[in-house]
Amino acid sequence: MKPELIPVLDRQTIARLVCDLGAKISEDYRGRPLVLIGVLKGAFIFLSDLVRSLQIPVEIDFIQVASYGSGTASSGEIRLCKPIDVDVRNKDVLLVEDIVDTGLTLQFLLDYLSAMEPASLNVCAMIDKHERRRTGVSVAYAGHRTQEGFLVGYGLDYDQKYRELPEIYHLQF
Ligand code: IMP
Ligand code: MG
């Protein structure tokens, strides 16, 4: 049976949330060299909207990891596929994620980036999902905080599908 798409965040709501995040980040990092690192693939749409809502200059890079496992659960076994190119030493770094679920991917990325000695390291995620959190990672900037559900659209996929949808939906199996 085909899964059902239940609307969670429409275009206007997403635009407002991203605009608010951009304003907050601009205020917090004003006058400091900020590097935004988008986590591929999921964060590509969120990051592209976020940078255009900022009022401060930034450097942009991408990182990609693969998590073994399929379906809607992360296995926790993570491998780096694409490292960063920008030198982040002594710079403020903001890791930009589509969604934080168990937090295992984020923990892996924070460990990897911390070793490069940035001046500071924080996380901005479009969705901060709590139910399955297994680490103590904190998301300093979250567009939307939720308890549960598998979300798709606005870069978020299920089996590489639905990323292109401009709204965010709950995928009901
Ligand atoms: P983690 O469980 O926090 O390690 O989540 C890792 C990755 O799983 C995220 O970056 C997403 O790519 C994916 N993921 C987790 N929850 C969802 C969801 O609700 N929709 C789409 N992808 C998800
Ligand atoms: Mg992701």
* Active site positions, annotated: 101
Nearest in space to 124 (alpha carbons), one of 108, 100, 111, 141 = 141
- pLDDT tens, residue by residue, 15-25: 999 999 999 99
- Region 109-114: mean pLDDT is 98
- Region 100-116: mean pLDDT is 96
> Which residues make Cβ contacts (< 8 Å) with residue 27, sequence separation at least 6?
none
- pLDDT tens, residue by residue, 42-85: 999 999 999 999 999 999 999 999 987 656 766 678 999 999 99
CB-CB contact of 171 with 3 (8 Å): yes
Whole-number pLDDT of residue 76 = 72
Whole-number pLDDT of residue 71 = 65
- Residue 9 in contact with ligand 1 by CB distance below 6 A: no
Helix then strand then coil, % of the chain, to nearest 5: 25, 35, 40
Domain span at residue 25? 4-172
Between the CA of 94 and the centroid of ligand 1 the distance, in Å, is: 18
Give the closest residue (by CA) to ligand 1 atom 10: 99
Q: What is the CATH number of the domain that holds 19?
A: 3.40.50.2020
Query: Is 122 strand, coil or helix?
Result: strand
Determine how β-strand 168-172 pairs with β-strand 34-40: unpaired
**How many distinct structural domains can be found in the chain?**
1
- Region 111-127: mean pLDDT is 98
Under DSSP, the state recorded for 141 is E
Near ion ligand 2, which residues have CB within 5 Å? 42, 98
Token look-up 């935004």 returns: 36
Which atom of ligand 1 is nearest to 78's Cα? 4
